[in-house]
Amino acid sequence: MEAHGGLGALLEKYNLPLISAYCGTNLSDPARRKDSISKTLGWAALVKKYKGKVIVVGPNGVRRNSYDFKAHKTIS
């Protein structure tokens, strides 16, 4: 939306506050980790820019019957 006038233009036009944003991202594929973090930080910056207070990060789903939880270790 920023490339087409931005979210701010719509918020201003309709006199709406930005309260929160729901941001879907991939949290299970290590190969997409950097891209996922970058996108989430971009959304956070937009929410902050328009004075929002909350971001809900919704992870991608996985096929539990075939997903190898042991192969995907958490980072520390």
pLDDT tens column, 19-62: 999 999 988 788 998 999 999 999 999 999 999 999 999 888 76
pTM over 0.85: no
User: For 1-76, where are the alpha helices, taking DSSP H only?
Assistant: 6-13, 33-49
Which carries the bigger pLDDT value, residue 55 or residue 64? 55
Instruction: Assess whether pLDDT exceeds 60 at residue 74.
Output: no
Residue 76 pLDDT more than 50? Answer: no
Are 25 and 64 in contact, with CB atoms under 8 Å apart? no
Structure-model confidence comparison of residues 63 and 53, the more confident one: 53
Q: Which of 76, 73, 66, 65 is nearest to 28 (CA)?
A: 73
Q: How far apart are CA 51 and CA 47, in angstroms?
A: 6
In contact, 46 and 21? CB cutoff 8 Å: yes
